[in-house]
């Protein structure tokens, strides 16, 4: 049991540090105190020790328990909403740039163009214009982020477990990639609707119901019929025509399948994006926890925390780790994201027909060359750094708050 003078000194030092921390830094102290209030824990610090005698965290009960999954689901969803709200105006401009909206194409290619685009949107539609489609974004991002973080925790527990020797880059990448694929499969239709809403710029824009009906009834581009003369016998030509007719008759041409437009490309992009994102974040965490610098970058670890759970990072280290992970993963997967965006709005520009992956990629290359696959990447960096930073920071702090 520590003496009264020791307690007095400890409290004085704590007050001094909190008094000189900035707003984000103070949140760390608030979260640590709120943890004890929410979970009913009492903090008792022993002399010359930073351990906390509190109730065992949920993690010790097993990451596969329903309680752990529920708490991580809530934490993941809230972190996604906080991050998306932070960058919603930039997200709107990025989509307009990526999809080649004719009213905003002239603003591409410069930082000033981003500011002008934001100004024009604000002048025409006010503050709500900067957040157009954001309600659909939140409806989509909450389950998306919640499933992503829950899936990562589950895949990580299965693939890596508590054995630090299994903490390899390929296992981290695989856990993140599978988590991303799981989350995007469950929420992709909402992403289609969100992008189409954000693409609308007319004063009398379509309602949510109108957008859904338009997407539902869109048809793919009709390919020209096979030529009459084909190398080989006439029977071969007839057989090829019959096969093509059968495929066209069986394959869905409109309907619910339209809400998964570009899904295969999304999977191709999600594997490197989510895999690299979690891999980079965890690797940055290892870097900040090196013995030479961890006294400046980590917070005290609870004595009751699981042995495989590392010490939490300070606010600035967590923000940097999350931001860097977003920049790296964005760079790796950006070309596939551009293709996906163009496929998603292909029915909103032109004659209402949708394009396939190869056709969309060829069209982008003909229009702009290789640079066309990186249109909007600069604003993407501006958006993705705070997005990933806030997302990982909020999730990690909520894990402390929820005692997981």
Cβ neighbors of 304 (< 8 A, separation 6 or more) are: 52, 53, 54, 55, 56, 57, 60
Question: Do 365 and 344 meet the contact criterion of CB atoms below 8 Å apart?
Answer: no
pLDDT higher than 60, residue 36: no
* Rounded-to-integer distance, Cα 60 and Cα 73, Å: 17
Residue 206 DSSP symbol: P
Q: Are 33 and 123 in contact (CB under 8 A)?
A: no
Task: Enumerate residues 6+ apart whose C-beta is below 8 A from 185.
Answer: none
For residues 163 and 186, is the Cβ–Cβ distance under 8 A? no
Amino acid 192: pLDDT:
83
10 Å CB burial of residue 350 (0-12, 13-18, 19+) is: exposed
Q: What is the mean pLDDT of residues 30-34?
A: 47
Distance CA 104, CA 93 (A): 9
Model confidence pLDDT, tens digit, residues 280-304 = 999 999 999 999 999 999 998 877 7
Given a cut of 70, whether residue 6 has pLDDT beyond it is no
Virtual torsion, Cα 79, 144, 278, 275, nearest 10 deg: -170
Distance CA 307, CA 286 (A): 15
Q: Which two tokens stand for residue 370?
A: 């290789």
Radius of gyration of the chain (CA): 25
98 or 404: whose pLDDT is higher?
Answer: 404
**Residue 55, CA distances (Å) to 30, 137, 141, 202, 404 in order:** 19, 37, 32, 56, 11
| pLDDT value at residue 347 | 55
Q: What is the pLDDT of residues 61-118, one digit of tens each?
A: 577 889 999 999 999 999 999 999 998 888 888 777 767 676 776 677 666 777 888 8
400 touches 31 (CB < 8 A): yes
Residue 212 pLDDT class (50, 70, 90 cuts): confident
Concatenate the DSSP letters of all residues of 245-296 into one string: HHHHHHS--SSGGGGGTTHHHHHHHHHHHHHHHHHHHHHHHHHHTSTTTHHH
DSSP 8-state secondary structure symbol assigned to residue 305: S
- Express each pLDDT in 213-269 by its tens digit: 888 888 765 555 545 444 444 554 454 455 444 444 444 556 788 888 778 777 878
pLDDT digits (tens, 9 = 90+) for 321-368: 999 999 999 988 888 888 877 876 765 445 556 677 788 888 888 888
What confidence score (pLDDT) does residue 154 get?
94
Nearest in space to 338 (alpha carbons), one of 130, 94, 86, 80? 94
pLDDT at 90: 83
What is the pLDDT at residue 242? 52
Q: Please list, in sequence order, all residues whose beta carbon lies within 8 angstroms of the beta carbon of residue 12, skipping any fewer than 6 positions away.
A: none
Instruction: Report the pLDDT value the prediction gives residue 376, as an integer from 0 to 100.
Output: 75
CB 144 within 8 A of CB 80: yes
Share of the chain above pLDDT 70, in %: 68
Instruction: Please provide the average confidence, as pLDDT, over all residues in the chain.
Output: 75
Helix or strand or coil: residue 168? coil
Q: Taking a C-beta distance cutoff of 8 angstroms, is the pair 260, 188 a contact? A: yes
278 or 237: which leads in pLDDT:
278
Q: Are 353 and 219 a contacting pair, CB within 8 Å?
A: yes
Q: Residue 138 has what pLDDT? A: 87
Distance CA 275, CA 278 (A): 6
- Determine phi and psi for 180, rounding to 5 degrees: -65, -45
Q: Is the alpha carbon torsion for 222, 228, 231, 235 positive or negative?
A: positive
Using the predicted structure, report yes or no on whether residue 155 has a pLDDT greater than 90. Answer: yes
């Amino acid at each position: 049991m520590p003496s009264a003078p020791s307690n007095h000194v400890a409290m004085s030092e704590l007050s001094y540090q909190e008094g000189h921390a900035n707003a984000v830094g103070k949140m760390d102290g608030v979260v640590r105190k709120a943890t004890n209030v929410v979970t009913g824990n009492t903090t008792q610090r022993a002399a010359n020790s930073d351990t906390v005698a509190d109730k065992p965290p949920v993690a010790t009960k097993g990451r596969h328990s329903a309680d752990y999954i529920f708490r991580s689901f809530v934490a993941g969803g809230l972190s996604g909403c906080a991050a998306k709200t932070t960058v919603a105006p930039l997200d709107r401009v990025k989509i307009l740039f990526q999809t080649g909206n004719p009213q905003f194409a002239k603003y591409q290619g410069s930082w000033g163009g981003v500011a002008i685009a934001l100004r024009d949107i604000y002048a025409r539609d006010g503050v709500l214009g900067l957040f157009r489609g954001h309600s659909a974004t939140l409806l989509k991002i909450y389950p998306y982020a919640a499933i992503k973080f829950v899936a990562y925790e589950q895949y990580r527990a299965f693939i890596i477990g508590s054995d630090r020797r299994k903490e390899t880059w390929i296992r981290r990448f695989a856990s993140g990639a599978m988590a991303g694929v799981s989350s995007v499969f469950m929420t992709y239709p909402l992403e289609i609707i969100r992008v189409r809403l954000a693409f609308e710029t007319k004063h009398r824009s379509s309602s949510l119901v109108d957008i859904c009906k338009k997407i539902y009834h869109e048809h793919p581009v009709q390919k020209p019929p096979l030529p009459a003369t084909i190398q080989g016998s006439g029977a071969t030509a007839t057989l090829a025509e019959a096969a093509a007719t059968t495929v066209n008759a069986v394959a869905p041409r409109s309907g619910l399948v339209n809400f998964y437009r570009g899904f295969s490309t999304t999977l191709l992009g999600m594997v490197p994006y989510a895999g690299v994102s979690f891999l980079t974040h965890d690797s940055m965490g290892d870097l900040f926890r090196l013995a030479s610098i961890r006294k400046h970058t980590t917070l005290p670890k609870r004595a009751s925390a699981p042995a495989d759970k590392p010490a939490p990072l300070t606010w600035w280290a967590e923000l940097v780790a999350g931001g860097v992970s977003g920049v790296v993963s964005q760079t790796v997967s950006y070309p596939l994201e551009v293709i996906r965006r163009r496929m998603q709005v292909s029915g909103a520009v032109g004659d209402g027909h949708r394009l396939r992956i190869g056709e969309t990629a060829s069209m982008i290359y003909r229009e702009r060359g290789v640079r066309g696959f990186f249109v909007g990447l600069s604003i993407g960096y501006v958006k993705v750094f705070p997005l990933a930073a806030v997302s990982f920071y909020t999730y990690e702090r909520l894990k402390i708050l929820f005692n997981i």
